[in-house]
Structure 1
């Protein structure tokens, strides 16, 4: 019987973004798995994502029994990971630069409801970027990620389908599970102050600020792993 860290990716669904953190958790003696989700599948919505997260845990359990799951959800993973809490022995949820949904809200409405676009634009102006420039993945996601990892991600990444954004978030409330919210201090896509406001308003949580940007699992894996283990 033991603890398992289950790491859920954001848009595109590639569990690869967690590979550096998985290696560090395992080196520290913990069980850890990264889930792959079908980001490019237009037929897969949040419920299908949740099913795949549960299946990944059940498959991993063939190597050992787990009675303590720590769900770690990055970005878009914040919509799907909580849907598994009624089927897995989840002891805590850790959000990493994650979307925090409201009951009945679609993922598509989340952006306007939370004011993400305005927060991004305000942060761009404050940091000297043109908020009206063409959206650049390098600027908002990979600005602090090592070049070799950026090159791999760009070559192997998948698009994100719109299916997960169309249906209302199905839970009546956030799961009754202890939850932490970690925010990259240099996140340009979900600025840290924006994350702090959403976490406070929706879950009554204070965010814990960490070094790095939106993909700090790739850019600052040591600091993120340490935070997950606290």
Structure 2
């Protein structure tokens, strides 16, 4: 039985994963969705990593070996925490979903300019007919493909991300020795799919797999996302790379 460790993005609300958890449990998988204190100005990546590791270690059903193993999944900002967790736990697979892919020493705050996210976003807006100078709008970039029930729940439970995590560096000098996969929402307006493909190739040497949905695909297309997660099996997908260093 695989154990899926689910790390949320900015704000750190574990309930973000509730539809994915439901789908995984229907398929006989065990899940650990970790709530992170995104709004705590004293909590950054080290604290997030500690909380995830502690949650797994405290879970009596967590699987730490084959078959199945421990699958660590990070969404968006969770892409910085997930590899740090894999450096401390015996993970069998690391998956980033619309994730920020870090380089050694980089902070999440530096990632935006380093990857060219703003230019990619602007180009996508122009291409799709949105005003590139309108400024960030939550409904446009995050909520556009969610059912109203999920929008209501998200807005009710949402919390802002403090500056703490964005100012703490990614401390690994090598990518963890864990098979790694990247999943891109093909309708992501915030991290456009072509942008994600470029960053994944440049930083991991990986071509992402695509699923329907935008930046919050776990809430808009949970079944398709779980189909893709389950397609990876218990470890190294056939023919897939296993990156060991970034730089």
User: TM-score, structure 2 length as denominator?
Assistant: 0.90
Contact 2:30 2:62 in 1 (8 A): no
Shift of 1:198: 0.3
Partner of 1:46: 45
Partner of 1:71: 72
CA distance in structure 2 between the partners assigned to 1:43 and 1:180 by the alignment: 31
CA distance in structure 1 between the partners assigned to 2:193 and 2:3 by the alignment: 28
User: TM-score, structure 1 length as denominator?
Assistant: 0.96
Partner of 1:59: 58
Partner of 1:86: 87
CA distance in structure 1 between the partners assigned to 2:137 and 2:55 by the alignment: 32
Partner of 1:148: 149
Shift of 1:168: 2.1
RMSD (Å) for aligned C-alpha atoms: 1.1
- SS in structure 2 of the partner of residue 71 of structure 1: strand
Contact 2:2 2:63 in 1 (8 A): no
Show structure 2 runs of 5+ residues with no match.
232-247
CA distance in structure 1 between the partners assigned to 2:62 and 2:163 by the alignment: 36
CA distance in structure 1 between the partners assigned to 2:63 and 2:198 by the alignment: 38
1:121 and 2:122 are equivalent in the alignment: yes
Query: CA offsets per residue over residues 173-208 of structure 1, 9 Å max, x none?
Result: 211110000000000000000000000000000011
Shift of 1:63: 4.1
| Number of equivalences | 228
Shift of 1:136: 0.8
Contact 2:8 2:16 in 1 (8 A): yes
CA distance in structure 1 between the partners assigned to 2:62 and 2:198 by the alignment: 40
